[in-house]
């Protein structure tokens, strides 16, 4: 069974420590949600797991199916089965979405076993249809000139085509209207399987109305400070974060991240 295991992870950005010993274990078939106010280190966790060059891991251990993730290059992590749907996906002029997708699929296949063009197009088109994406987007340049919502759908499209073992969704709900949110959530739900783990990072509980998590964690000061089931998300939605802070005696929940 797929397991992502994070132990006492510490990470710095531009010399500032943002993650201060975060521990979390996620198994295949589970959906974990990490919630928390701005500036508590949620997105840093996502970027550090994926291996963004600006995020320096200073201590701790992360394994994906007992393989040391932190030893791997970014592309090796991806080929090992990790997928991060990013909050701000890069725009790359001149590279069409479909060329990019095909390269990404083939990158995880053996030489000589590349996906056939016909099969690729068929799969891409059917997934795009499911995400209600205009087929024209296959031929547009990667994320260039895409609206916020279009970029998010494109991230989900990549997730569906790459079929990763483990998915992190970083603020995938930000900037989405209610219809887009439903479509994106449907995409994620379609991908739910006993072999696949999910980590959903979000400010708001509204995404969790569409994707029901098994576990909800609250992040403050670069750590997980409280965990519970879906009911925790509902309470946070209704009452905000102040009660958590009060309960734990936290006055400033941020880690000095610029908001």
Partner 1 sequence: MAKQAPDMGEYKYGFRDGHQSIFQSGKGLTEEIVWEISRIKEEPEWMLDFRLKALKQFYKMPMPGWGADLTGLNLDDIQYYVRPSEKQGKTWEEVPSEIKATFDKLGIPEAEQKFLAGVSAQYESEVIYHSMRKELEEQGVIFLDTDTALKQYPEVFKQYFGTIIPPADNKFAALNSAVWSGGSFVYIPKGVQCEVPIQGYFRINSENMGQFERTLIIAEEGSFVHYVEGCTAPIYSTSSLHSGVIEIICRKDSRVRYTTIQNWAPNIYNLVTQRAVAEENATMEWVDGNIGSKVTMKYPAVILKGRGAKGSILSIAVAGKDQHQDAGAKVIHLAPETTSTIISKSISKQGGKVNYRGLSSFSRDSAGSKSNIKCDTLILDNLSTSDTIPYNEIKNDQITLEHEATVSKVSEEQLFYLMSRGLTEQDATQMIVMGFIEPFTKELPMEYAVEMNRLIQFEMEGSIG
Residues of the shown chain interacting with partner 1 in the complex, contacts defined by CB under 8 A: 50-54, 73-75, 77-79, 83-84, 86, 89-90, 92-95, 99-100, 103-104, 107-108, 141-142, 158, 162
Q: Which is nearer to partner 1, 84 or 220 (CB)?
A: 84
Give the three-class secondary structure for 77: helix
Give the closest residue to 49 by CA, choosing from 90, 81, 17: 81
Please, which contacts does 122-127 make with residues 24 or more away whose CB atoms are closer than 8 Å?
A: 123/161, 124/98, 124/157, 124/161, 127/157, 127/160, 127/161
Q: Could you identify the residue written with the tokens 């000061």? A: 221
Nearest approach, Cβ of 227 to partner 1 (angstroms)?
A: 27
CB of 208 vs partner 1, minimal distance in Å: 25
Residue 99 or 237 with smaller CB distance to partner 1: 99
Q: Pick the closer one to partner 1 by CB: 108 or 192.
A: 108
In the complex, the smallest distance separating the C-beta of residue 170 from partner 1, rounded to whole angstroms, is 11
Nearest to 134 by CA among 117, 103, 157, 115: 157
- Classify the C-alpha dihedral 44-191-152-105 as positive or negative: positive
**Cβ distance to partner 1 smaller for residue 88 or 243:** 88
CB of 178 to partner 1, least distance (A): 28
CA angle, residues 43, 46, 51, in degrees to nearest 5: 125
Closer residue to partner 1 in complex, CB, 73/177: 73
Considering the complex, state which of residue 83 and residue 146 has its C-beta at the smaller distance from partner 1. 83
CB 174 within 8 Å of CB 198: no
Contact present, 175 and 204 (Cβ < 8 Å):
no
Dist CA 210 CA 198 (whole Å): 14
Phi, psi of 181 (to 5 degrees): -60, -45
Span between the terminal Cα atoms of the chain, in Å: 37
We find the least distance from the C-beta atom of residue 168 to partner 1, in angstroms, to be 10
**Minimum separation from the CB atom of position 69 to partner 1 (A):** 13
Minimum distance from CB of 253 to partner 1 (Å)? 28
9 or 86: CB nearest partner 1: 86
Identify the three-state secondary structure at position 229: coil
Dihedral (C-alpha) 49, 52, 58, 61: value to the nearest 10 degrees? 20
């Amino acid at each position: 069974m797929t397991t992502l295991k994070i132990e006492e992870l510490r990470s710095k950005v531009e010399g500032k420590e943002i993650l201060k010993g975060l521990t979390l274990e996620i198994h295949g078939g589970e959906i974990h949600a990490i919630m928390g106010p701005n500036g508590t280190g949620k997105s840093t966790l996502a970027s550090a797991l994926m291996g963004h060059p600006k995020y320096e891991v200073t201590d701790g251990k992360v394994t994906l199916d007992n393989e040391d993730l932190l030893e791997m290059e970014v592309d090796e992590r991806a080929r090992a089965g990790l997928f991060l749907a990013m909050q701000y996906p890069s725009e790359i002029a001149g590279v069409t979405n479909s060329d990019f997708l095909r390269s990404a699929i083939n990158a995880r296949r053996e030489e000589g076993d590349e996906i056939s063009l016909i099969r690729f197009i068929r799969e891409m088109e059917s997934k795009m249809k499911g995400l209600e994406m205009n087929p024209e987007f296959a031929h547009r340049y990667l994320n260039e000139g895409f609206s916020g919502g279009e970029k998010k759908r494109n991230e989900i499209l990549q997730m569906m085509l790459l079929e990763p073992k483990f998915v992190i969704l970083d603020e995938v709900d930000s900037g989405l209207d209610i219809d887009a949110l439903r479509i994106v959530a449907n995409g994620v739900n379609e991908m739910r399987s006993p072999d696949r783990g999910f980590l959903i990072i979000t400010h708001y509980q509204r995404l969790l109305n569409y994707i029901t998590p098994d576990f909800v964690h609250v992040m403050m000061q670069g750590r997980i400070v409280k965990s519970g089931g879906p009911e925790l998300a509902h309470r946070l939605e209704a009452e905000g974060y102040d009660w958590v802070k009060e309960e734990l005696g936290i006055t400033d929940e941020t880690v000095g991240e610029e908001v």
